Amino acid sequence: MRQRRRSRQHPRAAEGTARRTGCAGSRSGCAAGHRRDDRIAVAAHGRRRMSSVPITAAATPAAARPAAPGPLRGFGARQLAVIFGFAAFVPLVGYLFAAALGESVRFPFIVYEFAACLVIGSSAQLSALAAQNLWRHRMGAPWRVALAVLIAAAGATALLQLVDLAVARPLGIDQLMAQEGKAFASTAQRIVYQMSGALRWSLVLVVLCELLEANRRAQDELHAMRMAALAAERDLVEGKLRAMQARVDPDLLFDALLEIDQCYARDGAAGRERLDALIRFLRAALPSDSGGGSSVGREQELVEAYVELVRPRAGRGLVVDFATDPAARQVPMPAMLLLPLVRWVLANGSARHARVEVSKPAGVLAVVVESDADVAGASAEIAIRALRER
């Protein structure tokens, strides 16, 4: 079945539409499919770059469901620093107190105390982190902290039994405590003693972890707010830039088209020359892919195209010289910053010679625009005020 291609339609768009809508059976069905896809393409034009291929619902991927956070999400260097700092701080303080009281402290006790504090600190940090990730939106902070403390104390007490087997027995801790008269009467008494210590230290460490996480979340929210403010400010600047372009381009485009029409009426070659100058200017004025940014070389091309476009109206004697440092051509530069300067010095038509010098001394971009025009007065100050604000 042969179909007539409409104007401004891609040659392959009809085939793609017919395949996707399954309307190869009748001409009316295909026409309905074309109109529906064209409406979808027009509606999507405000959100993304125009494409000649019609857009269908099947081409849009389904939104992925965000994954639930893991219980230990966020565990990192800060938690490790707290664990090892606690494991080193408690034995050191105990040793200093014993030394201050004139008591002797044996090395096996310090090793065992370090291992026990390492277990208690790890259990407390992991329990607090898991409670925050799993229950932060389900229960209040007091209940969450209490539950994390109980879990940390129970887990630390269970792990301390392994520490007794792996560290205390090889070091002979029980014999040393018996020699000093500090041995436990039974295993139950030792477990109760260990659990009370784990409960006390778990409370301190879980609360500390809760405070650190609250501080981290506050910093993240502050950073997000600052980034949102910067994005809003950037959008405002880009909006002002688009407004400036809208103020500059319409009059220039109208005058150029009128001049091209007059040139074609007099001489076809002159009309083609003016049309080529307009096309060059429009190509240079197209926004780049980098958003509102540009470069020195691109802005220089825009100014050169503008001067070539307005030269017939300004007189053949208008000359604009460029002295651009080759190392500065690729330097980033705000878009529509150099052209308003040149337009400013050429605005009243009195200029016959202008010079644009761009250099980068000491890593700072310097732009100097000089001309023999008379731009003094209040009108010149108003014209340059918006540029100074940018």
Q: What is the pLDDT of residues 15-58, one digit of tens each?
A: 444 444 444 444 444 444 444 444 434 334 444 443 333 443 43
Instruction: Give the CA count within 13 Å in the CB-facing half-sphere of 325.
Output: 14
Give bridge partners of residue 359 from the DSSP assignment.
366
Of the chain, the percentage scoring pLDDT greater than 70 comes to 72
Does the pLDDT of residue 225 top 90, yes or no?
Answer: yes
pLDDT value at residue 376: 57
* Interatomic CA distance for residues 195 and 189, integer angstroms: 10
* Interatomic CA distance for residues 276 and 339, integer angstroms: 20
**Sheet with 319-324: strands ordered across:** 319-324, 353-359, 366-371
Dig out the tokens for 329 from the structure: 């051509």
Dig out the tokens for 378 from the structure: 């209040």
Give bridge partners of residue 356 from the DSSP assignment.
322, 369
Cβ neighbourhood burial of 208 (10 Å; 0-12, 13-18, 19+)? middle
Q: Give the relative orientation of helices 107-135 and 141-163 as an angle to the nearest 10 degrees.
A: 140
Does the pLDDT of residue 68 top 80, yes or no?
Answer: no
- CA angle at 116 for the pair 159 and 145, rounded to the nearest 5°: 70
Dig out the tokens for 165 from the structure: 């087997």
Which amino acid is present at 67?
Answer: A
3-state class (DSSP) for residue 243: helix
* Interatomic CA distance for residues 301 and 307, integer angstroms: 10
- 155 vs 363 pLDDT, higher one: 155
Looking at the whole model, is its pTM more than 0.75?
no
Residue 185 per-residue DSSP state: S
Domain with CATH 3.30.565 in the chain: 267-389
Report the CATH number of the 267-389 domain.
Answer: 3.30.565
| pLDDT grade for 288, boundaries at 50, 70 and 90 | low
